[in-house]
Amino acid sequence: MTAYIGLLCLLHLLITLVLSIDITYHVKEEDRPHTYIGDIAVDSNLSHPLTHQQHTLITFTQLQRTVESGSHLFNVTNSGKLYTTQTLDAESLCTYNKECSRIVKVAVRKGKTFMKILKIKILIDDINDHSPEFPQNEITIKFLERDFKGTKIPLLNAIDEDISIKNSQITYMIKKSKREPFSLSVTKHKGIFTPEIILEDKLDREVKDSYMLTLKLKMEGILPKQLHSRYTYL
């Protein structure tokens, strides 16, 4: 029984060591290569109790610089400075609405004596570097003359490649005259917003057989995009 409890304690300790993060840094995507991220020597506090002479003996070595882990995107100097090795693109490295990060493991030595391995997490912050786009610049949809007020027809939703929710929220707007019997609504399903055109009055083909409206989409800090939509009815 004592051996079993000891084994459980050892497993708990190993899991804690594996999951623990010693330092967390942030870096913005699209920053230039060799961007300075942080000083591991300072932020790890390893040199705090040491004398100046002892501090000069502390060295840092990055472990497992592989493409698979993403650790090749970063470089740790012998003195513990952390840099990027290339421009980072969050959209190619990560998936939508998920934490975008990479782990770097660093071995610390004092002279020839191994001290410990630090686990460094680098969070890659998404920036609003993509504007939303419609799949098509112009579409044609059809209403029937017998359609009642309130009839809805869904449109193509716009696509934004930014991976964070805050940078991919789109506002839809419709440009039309007051005499055109249409309005716009937006429905949400499984996190996807879809614009819909709503018929606000009965149509009469003898009076007018087609309309041209413009659907606009807007994001904070980005110029609006437009989708020209021709609405006809039979």
CATH code linked to domain 138-232: 2.60.40.60
In this structure, which amino acid lies at residue 207?
A: V
CATH number of 21-125: 2.60.40.60
Q: Is the pLDDT of residue 3 over 60?
A: no
| 101: confidence class by pLDDT, cuts 50, 70, 90 | very high
Asked if pLDDT for residue 98 goes beyond 70, the answer is yes
Top-ranked range on mean pLDDT: pick from 20-34, 146-160, 186-200? 20-34
Mean pLDDT of the region 108-123: 94
What DSSP state is assigned to residue 148?
P
Query: Mean pLDDT, the chain, as a whole number?
Result: 82
Find, among 214, 41, 188, 7, the residue nearest to 115 by Cα: 41
Q: For the chain, what are the domain ranges?
A: 21-125, 138-232
pLDDT above 90 covers a percentage of the chain that reads 40
**pLDDT for the residue numbered 18:** 43
Q: How many CA atoms lie within 13 A of 170 on its CB side?
A: 28
Give mean pLDDT, residues 111-130: 92
Find, among 134, 33, 5, the residue nearest to 89 by Cα.
Answer: 33
Average the pLDDT over 53-64 and give the result: 85
Inform me whether the pLDDT recorded for 23 exceeds 90.
yes
Q: Round to the nearest angstrom and report the end-to-end CA distance of the chain.
A: 82
Structure tokens at 84: 């990027």
**Confidence (pLDDT) at 13:** 43
With pLDDT > 70 as the criterion, what percentage of the chain qualifies? 81
The band of 33, judged by pLDDT with boundaries at 50, 70 and 90, is very high
How high is the pLDDT of residue 147? 92
pTM: 0.71
Q: DSSP characters for 22-81? A: SEEEEEETTPPTT-EEEEHHHHT-TTTTS-HHHHTTEEEEEE---TTTTGGGEEE-TT-E
Place of tokens 């995009």: 225
Q: Between residues 17 and 55, which one has the greater pLDDT?
A: 55
199 or 223: which leads in pLDDT: 199
Using 50, 70 and 90 to split pLDDT, how confident is the model at 220? low
Residue 34, pLDDT above cutoff 70:
yes
Check for a shared fold between 21-125 and 138-232.
Answer: yes
Is the pLDDT score of 69 beyond 50? Answer: yes
Please state the φ and ψ torsions of residue 210, each to the nearest 5 degrees. Answer: -165, 160
Lowest-pLDDT choice from 20-24, 34-38, 54-58, 104-108:
54-58
